[in-house]
Amino acid sequence: VDSFRSSKLSYADRRKVILVIFVIVAVIYIVRLFQIQVIDESYKISAANSSLRNLTVYPARGLIYDRNGKLMVYNEVIYDLMVTPNQVRVLDTAAICTLLEMQPSDVKERIEKARVWSPYRPSVFEKQISKAEFARIQEQLFKFPGFYVQARTQRYYPYQIAPHTFGYIGEVNQSDLDRDGYYRPGDYIGISGIERAYEKELRGQKGMRKVWVDKFNNEIGRVAEGKYDTSAVAGLDLYTTIDLDLQRYGEELLQNKSGSIVAIEPATGEILALVSHPGYDPNLLVGRVRTKNYGMLQQDPNKPLYNRALQARYPPGSTFKMVNALIGQQLGVLTAQTTYPCAMGFHFGGLTVGCHAHPSPLDLSQSIQHSCNAYYCRAFRAIIDANGSKPAREGFEEWRRQVLSFGFGQALESDIPNQSSGNIPTAAYYDRYHGKNRWKSITIISLSIGQGEITATPLQLANFAATIANRGFYVVPHVGKALGRKDSLLQKYTIHHNTSVNRSYYDLVVDAMENVVIAGTGRVARIDSISVCGKTGTAQNPHGEDHSIFIAFAPKDNPKIAIAVVVENAGFGATWAAPIASLMIEKYLRREITAPNRLDLEKRMKEVRLSP
């Protein structure tokens, strides 16, 4: 402070000096700007030797997590080789062919194809170059004006699971381009599964950088200091309802078999596991190898691309008896006390629907416990003919209306695309088949035990199990839980779809399903100290061994999981589908299987080979 005071300059002088310095700096700055923008020819010269390039900045696609925040799908950087046809100069054909490992005709064809799209705008010359290839090409690329490399990302699946549910990404086609102005040729889009259902949220927003590049392809500056650039906005991360561990476990249990497993949290409709086997490693449908691998999977006689969980239609067999038990109660033709006899089946005129040995007569609850065919033949006739003298058609229409209220016969439209609707036949169908009003309840008696024209998908069967678990309603099964953050929950699927059957009629069915597992046809599904309610089924298969079906939920009170398991060519439902369902339930509720007898069961399920 003292030395400052001893300075010879007064305060006013010092102020002048500072002002002068400011003015000088400002003048220099303005002059330099003038030189750059108006006088300096070197800028014009360099502009002649350079060109403007619009670089698309691809946003990172949103990641996909499981319900517990475990990462299931992420992105890896890959590179596209781009070409701007009118910038391609004196092409050393041999050299570029060597560099890209291509035939000269191929190189020429690709440039011409790009020219058709636009001679001035860059388009993709070679897609999805790996990191190793990128390093090799990048070193040489300065020799080839008109070419440059652009980074983008592609999917990577650390666990080779749930290929059908994730779906895959591919290049946009013409109809995508026509439908949505966001896309440019060569862009990528979700084609199936989650990638398709959440395309808009996952894709984010592309950005743009305008840059000058010299004739050697080196970026030499930004246009207008980035004034016209837009930055990319990353896609939103998707938190799914899938339980990664349960999904993996289900895929292991179905190995060496064909079939599916659908597990749902009943109260919310959240899908915990969606297994279709055989499947494939989702990494096969990523990048340049996608087309080739897709063709290979299409040729595979085991149909790994076919999503059985959503698309396969099976006669639901005895699992459908509960639908008739519920509708019969609602219509007042069945009560807890309704008994019917069974003499190894139902006999009417020359018609016999066989049954197995069990006590007789049975009441409604026992009819479920022992899965009696004769009981349901008689119960179904009572349902259809409830109106007495009126034609069967009217009773049938009422029955059908109620069946549809359980979600059968329709796709359960949600964020899982490509569902089959299954089939609940119409009166018109029987009119065509038998003649108008020339059919009766006895004509369509197979519907009583879930056979004949009725078909359902594994998803619909799991939804049915969830409906019983909820005592009368379902929430549309779905896989999206939250977007962006784990706690920003999607509220898309919250509606309770009530069935036509009053809540009070469910208790008898639930108790009976518990008895199925305690002392009925599904004993193999028992788990110590967990109350499992279940029902076996067998889907007739005209092409070979029957399909084994089991639907279940647990615990009985306040259920946490409802499940449907279908194992193809496996015979009776209790043999394979029931143990697999019970292992899945235990895995979900306890997180691990520890009892020696259960581990033994697990081993047997994994090891068995059931071929078509």
Binding site for Zn ion (CB under 5 A): 342, 355, 372, 374
Q: Please report, as a single letter, which amino acid is at residue 218.
A: N
Compute the least distance from the CB of residue 510 to Zn ion, in Å: 21
CA–CA separation, 465 and 534 (whole Å): 8
Contact 335, 326 (CB under 8 A): no
Q: How far apart are CA 521 and CA 317, in angstroms?
A: 14
Mode of pairing for the β-strands spanning 219-222 and 207-214: antiparallel
Dist. CA 283–CA 27, nearest whole Å = 61
Residue closer to Zn ion (CB basis): 342 or 454 = 342
- CA 508 to chain centroid, in Å, comes to 35
Q: For residue 245, which of 174, 302, 162, 157 has the smallest C-alpha distance?
A: 162
Task: Please report how close the Cβ of residue 365 comes to Zn ion at its closest, in angstroms.
Answer: 14
- Give the C-alpha distances (Å, rounded to integers) separating 303 from 132, 295, 297, 312: 34, 12, 7, 12
Shortest Cβ 605–Zn ion spacing (Å): 29
48, with CB counted inside 10 A (0-12, 13-18, 19+), is: exposed
Q: What is the separation, in whole angstroms, between the first and last Cα of the chain?
A: 97
Nearer to Zn ion, 366 or 548 (CB): 366
Residue with tokens 């004739």: 215
CB of 411 to Zn ion, least distance (A): 34
Shortest distance in whole angstroms from residue 355 CB to Zn ion: 3
Nearer to Zn ion, 368 or 517 (CB): 368
Neighbours of 337 (CB within 10 A): 7
Task: Give least dist CB 609 to Zn ion, A.
Answer: 33
Distance of closest approach, residue 195 Cβ to Zn ion, in angstroms: 48
SS3 520: coil
Cβ proximity to Zn ion, 326 vs 374, nearer residue: 374
Question: Rounded to the nearest whole angstrom, what is the least distance from the CB of residue 352 to Zn ion in the complex?
Answer: 12
**137, 126 contact by CB (below 8 A):** no
Residue 155 · residue 71 · CB < 8 Å: no
Instruction: Quote the tokens at residue 439.
Output: 């059919």
Closer to Zn ion by Cβ: residue 88 or 342: 342
Rounded to whole angstroms, how far apart are CA atoms 455 and 403?
12
Of 63 and 362, CB closest to Zn ion: 362
Query: CB 261: neighbour CB atoms within 10 A?
Result: 31
Which of 311/352 has CB closer to Zn ion?
352
| Cβ-proximal residues to 244 (8 Å cutoff; 6+ apart), any chain | 66, 68, 70, 72, 159, 161
Which two structure tokens, joined as six digits, stand for 582?
Answer: 């019970």
> Taking the mean position of all CA atoms in its chain, how far away is CA 424?
25
Q: Which of 372, 482 has the CB closer to Zn ion?
A: 372
For residue 374, the minimal CB distance to Zn ion (Å) is 4
Nearer residue to Zn ion within complex by CB, 82 or 364: 364
CB of 248 to Zn ion, least distance (A): 40
DSSP per-residue letters across 388-407: TTS-HHHHHHHHHHHHHTTT
As measured in angstroms, the least distance from the Cβ of 384 to Zn ion is: 20
Positive or negative torsion for Cα 196, 200, 202, 204: positive
Taking the least distance from each CB to Zn ion, the nearer of 104 and 354 is: 354
Query: Minimal distance in Å, beta carbon 426 to Zn ion?
Result: 29
User: Would you say 298 or 339 has its CB closer to Zn ion?
Assistant: 339
Closer to Zn ion by CB, 241 or 373: give it.
Answer: 373
CA nearest to 568, candidates 544, 552, 532: 544
